[in-house]
Structure 1
Amino acid sequence: MVFEKEKEAFDIRTFTTEILNRVDSNTRRIRSIEQRLNLLESRISSLEEKLIDEIDKLGRGFEQLQLDVKAVSESLKVLRAEMLKMNKNMEKTALKAEVKELATLLDLYNPIKSSFVTKEEVRRMLEELEKKITQR
């Protein structure tokens, strides 16, 4: 019996040692898991902050794009109005053919290029013609 008590005591010590070893092992595993969990939480938090920053940047970018589109739209309106004014003014101006016609008419009536006669010259010519006719 004494031998059995020692065996039981030995078994209890072995058993408690095994339990303590397992508890220590489990505690280490839990710490490791907690550390990984903390690391994951910090990474997720960092990613969330970056995501919020990027969303803010995108929002500002879209607002700027809207402003740019409005500015371009206004510029196009102004350009269209100016083009309409130019078209109306173009309708009022002379065409190329009309300008050429005016140029030829001006060339005809240009006293430097054309040979016009004065009244006095016409009278003299008529008198000379009359003299020639009467002399025959």
Structure 2
Amino acid sequence: MSKSLPEELSVEILARLSMKNLARFRCVCKTWRDIINHRGFAKRYRDISPAKFVSFYDKGFYLLDVEGKNPGITTPPKLDFPLDQSMIDESTCVLHCDGTLCVTLKHHTLMIWNPSSKHFKVLPNPGIFKHPRFRL
């Protein structure tokens, strides 16, 4: 940011942006990228952002505002899924921790995904699935 704007104020301004804008604004300059990527920024962002819930329906991932602070929004924003939609099936499960998602995919694989930074990694089958031969 500019020298006339303290970093603390920059953090407060950036922390009020949407995840989509944060992903875009990481590319503006190195200073903004470093602020947004800092672990302390993620904590501040969670502290002031309304509670969100990621929902999987209609073959997509949507960000829902569970506190109802934006009653004028009737269509929740859809997250840009980084893989081909064919990797998702009806039994997809989404777990989260600090804005990072763990998504189950077809063929018993997992994906670790941060929608705000758009980083993801597909992990091989961890070997913790129920084999069809071993039904109870």
Higher helix share: 1
Which of the pair is proportionally richer in strand? 2
Q: Which TM class, normalised by the smaller chain length?
A: under 0.3
